[in-house]
């Protein structure tokens, strides 16, 4: 096999964004992420500080969302969310574009909205993933977003929130990879539910995937590696 357990585990952002999760479930999810040594936990904003406390001393990063799930928050609100997340220990922030402004073709607004979050996050030494919510966009709009994100130095472009009408598709992932330079990574979200799908997106250059079935995916990874004597 051309991968190790760490290669796969460090592709996963363990998603804890379902609005029905309780405090107990959120904390259990953070501990599961540590046990499986994934890349990050992406958690509801109010719980980020507690998440960062649980993850302290591990290699798992604490992350949360900005403007989630529809991207329609006023820019000043997104900035306030960003600054609070950074104070609470956020290391990676998953920001939703203003979908309405993208569809309206108001690219100056879209650029300003993204820059307002990316700049302070980078100033604090942390990273931003920009969520397009591709299910609502055409290819020209996705490509324009790739270009803007590249010019602003976004760390990842990401397909979906997981709460729109569709999730990651292979066609969108290939398009995003093709229209971003190598240093802008691509994250798949909404649709990676098993190891085979994760390996498939890895082959086309995706470096992160949001997942709720983290334990199932990584247990299967361990079984296959063990069967192969690795």
- The set of catalytic residues is 94, 158, 187
Pair 191, 215: CB distance under 8 Å: no
Distances 118 to 137, 176, 178, 199, 210 between C-alpha atoms, Å: 22, 19, 22, 29, 20
Decide the pairing of beta strands 185-188 and 156-158. parallel
Helix (H, G, I), strand (E, B) or coil at 133: coil
Picking from 134, 127, 150, the residue whose alpha carbon sits closest to that of residue 40 is: 127
């Amino acid at each position: 096999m051309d991968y190790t357990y760490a290669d796969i585990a460090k592709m996963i952002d363990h998603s804890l964004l379902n609005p029905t999760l309780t405090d107990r479930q959120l904390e259990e999810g953070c501990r599961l992420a540590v046990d499986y040594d994934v890349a990050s936990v992406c958690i509801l904003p109010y719980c980020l500080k507690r998440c960062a406390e649980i993850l302290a001393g591990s290699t798992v990063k604490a992350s949360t969302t900005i403007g989630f799930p529809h991207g329609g928050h006023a820019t000043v609100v997104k900035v306030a969310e960003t600054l609070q997340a950074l104070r609470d220990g956020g290391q990676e922030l998953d920001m939703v574009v203003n979908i309405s402004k993208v569809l309206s073709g108001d690219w100056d607004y879209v650029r300003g909205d993204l820059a307002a979050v990316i700049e302070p996050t980078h100033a604090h030494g942390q990273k931003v993933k920009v969520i397009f919510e591709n299910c609502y966009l055409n290819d020209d709009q996705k490509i324009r977003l790739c270009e803007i994100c590249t010019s602003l130095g976004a760390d990842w472009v990401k397909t979906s929130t997981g709460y729109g009408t569709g999730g990651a598709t292979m066609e969108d992932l290939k398009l995003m990879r093709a229209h971003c330079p190598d240093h802008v990574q691509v994250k798949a979200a909404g649709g990676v539910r098993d190891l085979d799908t994760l390996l498939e997106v890895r082959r086309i250059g995706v470096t992160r995937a949001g997942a709720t079935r983290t334990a199932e995916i990584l247990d299967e990874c361990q079984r296959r590696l063990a069967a192969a004597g690795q």
